[in-house]
Chain A
Amino acid sequence: MFGFLARRILIAIPTILLISIFVFTLQKLLPGDPVLAMAGEERDPEVLEFLRAKYRLNDPIHMQYFYWIGGALQGDLGISLRTQQPVLALIGEKLPVTIQLAVMALSIALVIGVPAGVISAYRKGTWVDWLANVVALSGLSIPNFWLGIMLILLVSVKWGLLPASGYVPLSEDPLQSLQTMIMPAFVLGTGLAATLMRHTRSAMLGVLKSDYVRTARAKGLGERVVVVKHALRNALVPIVTVTTLLFGELLAGAVLTEQIFTIPGFGKLVVDAVFNRDYAVVQGIVLCTAVAFIAMNILADAAYRILNPRMRDD
């Protein structure tokens, strides 16, 4: 297991470097001038020139990259052109928010998606299966921004049950924090639940047809034990893959949902940064997200080995 992890982490390093080069060059290809975007309406040429020099925007692009990656390796991701806050501090501020939203959304998705998938596979072709499919499809097809606005209008404006938007840190007031996060988590979670439900259903259908399930039944085991212990455990491998990928995606920030519920996470930060050509912030977040995504993949691979002993010795 240790050798496996070490190998995976070693492979991750060049991957992350490649991603950073790719993002760096790609965003330099974006039209628009960061200095013009930050100079203000008046665009004083003297100030423009000073800012270009200050942020090394006149240097050749490879020099800019070396300068940035050199800083990044020492833990300095530069400062935001827009607000002059250090990028690392910004990430430190937003990451807990994004993680909280991701965990809550994924929990909701798992609680709804996995049981729904199991039940609809077990009762394939019945009205339960049909209903679960309809619900899952609507979860996938309803746009987040629409569901979000409808929820705000209904739950907050009409019933006054939850705050319409905003964010309270978990450390400051756990109850209020959960209250502000539950609607966005629900909006995100229902969409993901649909994906999870479909994957669980197809994995379960495959497993339920297999010989060992027939054997388990023939041995006279109860249906609950057959489904949960024998079938579900074996169906979990593809579900774990999907779940970790979904979690990785959530860590990149849920742009629309964050925008609607004004959750100050990665999504909102990165969109503002792109529109303002705040290069340092975009690079910092992409780097951070890439690391998180790769880490999730390594975790998923480790989880397979725990779930399925046959995968342990490759």
Chain B
Amino acid sequence: MARSKTAALALAFGLAATSAFSADLRIGLQDDADILDPDQSRTFVGRIVYASLCDKLVDITPDLEIIPQLATGWEWSADGMALTMTLREGVTFHDGEPFNAAAVAANIERSQTLPESRRKSEVKSIASTEVVDDYTIKLNLKAPDATLLAQLADRAGMMLSPKAAAEMGVDFGLNPVCSGPFKFKERVQQDRIVLERYDGYWNADEIHFDSVTFLPIPDTTVRLANLRAGDLDMLERLAATDLASAKADDGLTVEQAVSLGYQGITININNGERAQNPLGQNAAIRKALSLSIDRNVLNQVVFEGAFAPGNQPFPPTSPWYDKRFPVPERDVEAAKALLKEAGVDSVEIEVQVANNPVQMQMMQVVQAMAAEAGINIKLVAKEFATLLKDQSAGEYTASQVGWSGRVDPDGNIHQFQTCNGGINDSKFCMPEVDALLDKARISTDTAERKAAYDAAREILNEQQPIIYLYHVTWIWALNNKIEGFVPYPDGMIRLEGVSFAE
């Protein structure tokens, strides 16, 4: 008897000891990440993993200001043609290699020259790198580029161990070596990604977990059930429809942040033959469609009021939002008047939409609203890969798609609405808009940039090549025992300062 008691006590102590000394944080993700190579990867969840795995040259604050991470300071040359960065000393990669100016140069070269690199367009403006000394790097630009710092605050600014990158080449993502707070341990596709604490981390005092396990659980109901059952400590992208029940749960905390991206309807204006229709050819009809939609009701009906109604590429909470054009009230009469002005009583349009239940439901609400103004929408549900292909090939009239959003405003607008923009699937083209958006891209003066975006907004608000509808709100649900989590509008999970409550 006495012995079994001792054994039980020992066991209890043993358990207490393991829970105190091996703190594993389990995070539920909506999807599985793709390849874990910052130069090649493309998924949102991949970036969430990188936030723990790979440090960047700079980071952002929740208010989108650029702050130091691996670079401690930076300075633009007077002509905006060079960016000189001072680097943090004493930083090592997970394989023990030192982080220095030569490493930065090697990383930028990899982003620019690796044939598989998806970062080329993000670091395109860099003409050359110059190692000034061990901890100073100078980036010489081809043309002034105000967006560069924001690019370096994301995947393009993530620093990989140059030695590992050279050895592994295109397969780097199978065993990534960076300099973040956690190092790569193992990955089982569709099951888990495990990172463990890196003791040599420069900011190790702020890290309070021994390991982090990311578990992709696509079904939102199941993800929440796992959190409730204690199998997860936190999850990202709680479904808006589960918000009320998660808030009512005493054991859970809910955090939210309006995202940087948008959802809207892209209209084919000049992309092949399918653009030859009233919606594509007549801006008044596009405006009528926009006016027929009650964005607040849309948000309440489909997203339980959790998202942010919108009408611009930036959410109303963004400093770049043009307040002169607030989210319009629904006005069916005005919409009908616009149709009349365009010489029609009603129009038939086809809108393609991704075949997932939420987007379908959202577009059905839009469909019902537009019908009251005389705009009859035919919805064509397509699986996403097909939708994307048809959209870029011009095989569509209008397409319900979104954009995940970028820290710098340029990333939400330039490539969509300039004549040669890489993702300008509507092929909207007005030289005066190009001039304004180009100007905003090169100026490093915030007021000057804002003025250029506002001037472009005046034109775009008349043209409406994209009818913006809403901005997704990131919703995280956390077990109450987690302390110190800060929601960011980029949807990332930063673990500095996060811990289990004692």
Which positions in A face B, CB cutoff 8 Å?
31-34, 36-47, 50-51, 54, 82-85, 90, 93-94, 149, 152-153, 156-157, 160, 163-167, 259-262, 264, 268-269, 272, 275-277
- B54-93 interface bits toward A, Cβ cutoff 8 Å, 1 = contact, 0 = none: 0000000000000000000000000000000000000000
The contact sample of 20 A-B pairs, CB cut-off 8 A, is A31-B383, A32-B383, A32-B385, A40-B42, A41-B42, A42-B415, A42-B423, A45-B422, A46-B120, A51-B116, A84-B170, A85-B189, A93-B188, A93-B189, A149-B222, A152-B229, A156-B229, A166-B192, A262-B191, A264-B191
Q: Complex: how many Å from CA A287 to CA B251?
A: 47
* In the complex, per-residue mask of B113-139: 1 if CB is within 8 Å of any chain A CB, else 0: 001111011100000000000000000
How distant is B416 from chain A, measured CB to nearest CB, in Å?
Answer: 11
**In this assembly, does B302 line the interface, its C-beta being within 8 Å of a C-beta of chain A?**
no
Docked complex: B209-232 residues within 8 A CB-CB of A: 215-219, 221-222, 225-226, 228-231
A160 touches B35 (CB 8 A): no
The winner among A45, A94, A262 for most chain B CB atoms within 10 A is A262
A272 touches B32 (CB 8 A): yes
With A45-B422, A149-B225, A165-B222 known to touch, is A32 a contact of B120 (CB < 8 Å)? Answer: no
Residue of B with least CB distance to A42: B121
Please tell me if B480 contacts chain A, counting CB pairs below 8 Å. no
Binds A, one of B159-167, B386-394, B445-453: B386-394
Number of A-B residue pairs having CB atoms within 8 Å of each other in the complex: 134
Nearest CB in chain A to that of B405: its residue: A41
Cα-based distance from A32 to B386 in the complex (angstroms): 4
Q: Known A-B contacts: A38-B34, A41-B403, A50-B115. Give 11 more (CB < 8 A).
A: A31-B390, A39-B118, A43-B423, A84-B174, A163-B229, A163-B231, A164-B225, A165-B231, A262-B190, A269-B189, A272-B32
Complex CA distance for A36 and B389, rounded to whole angstroms: 7
**Cα–Cα, bound, A259→B389 (Å):** 27
A225 to B205, CA, bound (A): 74
User: Quick one: closest B residue to A268, CB to CB?
Assistant: B190
Residue from A39, A46, A51, A166 having most chain B Cβ neighbours under 10 A: A166
CA distance A34 to B423 in the complex (A): 17
Pick from A32, A47, A54, A82: contact of B118, CB below 8 A: A47
Name the residue on A nearest B393 (C-beta): A33
Partner of B422, one of A44, A51, A84, A272: A44
Q: Among B41, B173, B219, B422, find the residue whose CB has the most chain A CB atoms closer than 10 A.
A: B219
Distance, CA A56 to CA B452, complexed state (A) = 44
- Decide: B35 and A82 in contact? CB cutoff 8 A: yes
- Complex alpha-carbon distance, A163 and B231, angstroms: 7
B32 nearest CB neighbor, chain A only: A272
With A33-B389, A43-B422, A85-B174 known to touch, is A152 a contact of B383 (CB < 8 Å)? Answer: no
**Cα-based distance from A45 to B385 in the complex (angstroms):** 17
- B404 interfacial contact with A, CB 8 Å: yes
Report which of A260, A275, A277 forms a contact with B219, defined as CB distance below 8 A: A260
Dominant SS among interface residues on chain A = helix
A226 vs chain B, min Cβ distance (A): 48
Binding site for A on B (CB under 8 A): 32, 34-35, 41-42, 115-118, 120-122, 170-171, 173-174, 188-192, 215-219, 221-222, 225-226, 228-231, 382-386, 388-390, 392, 403-404, 415, 422-423
- Considering the complex, give the chain A residue whose CB is closest to the CB of B382: A31
B contact residues around A45 at 8 Å (CB): 422
Residues of B within 8 A of A85 (CB): 174, 189
Q: Which residues of B contact A153 (CB under 8 A)?
A: 225
Residues on B with C-beta less than 8 A from A90 are 189
Q: Distance (Å) between the CB of B408 and the closest chain A CB?
A: 14
Q: Bound complex: CA of A53 vs CA of B243, how far in Å?
A: 46
A166 touches B120 (CB 8 A): no
CB-CB under 8 A from A160, the residues of chain B are 229-230
Closest residue to A45 on the B side, CB-wise? B422
CB closest chain-A residue, reference B171: A84
CB distance from B28 to the nearest CB of A (A): 9
Nearest Cβ distance between residue A176 and chain B, in whole angstroms? 12
B117 surroundings in chain A (CB, below 8 A): 47
Q: In the assembly, what is the distance between CA of A268 and CA of B34, in Å? A: 14
Q: Give the distance to chain B from A165, nearest Cβ to Cβ, in Å.
A: 6
Report Cα–Cα, A275/B171, bound state, in Å.
Answer: 23
Residue among A39, A51, A83 having the largest count of chain B Cβ atoms under 10 Å: A83
Chain A residues lying within 8 Å of B189, measured Cβ to Cβ, are 83, 85, 90, 93-94, 264, 269
Cβ distance A142 to chain B, nearest Cβ, rounded Å: 17
Residues of chain B within 8 A of A164, CB atoms compared:
222, 225-226, 229, 231
User: Roughly how many angstroms separate A42 CA and B40 CA in the complex, as a whole number?
Assistant: 12
Taking the closest CB of chain B, its distance from the CB of A36, in whole angstroms, is 5
Compute how far the CA of A84 lies from the CA of B189 in the bound complex, rounded to whole angstroms. 11
Q: Is the CB of A264 within 8 A of B190?
A: yes
A152 touches B222 (CB 8 A): yes
Q: Write the chain A residue with the least CB distance to B120.
A: A44
Considering only CB atoms, which chain B residue lies closest to A262 in the complex? B217
Supposing A39-B118, A165-B226 touch, asked if A32 and B217 sit within 8 A by C-beta, the answer is no
Instruction: Give the Cβ gap from A29 to chain B, nearest Cβ, in Å.
Output: 12
Instruction: Give the residue name and chain of the A residue nearest to B388 (CB).
Output: A36
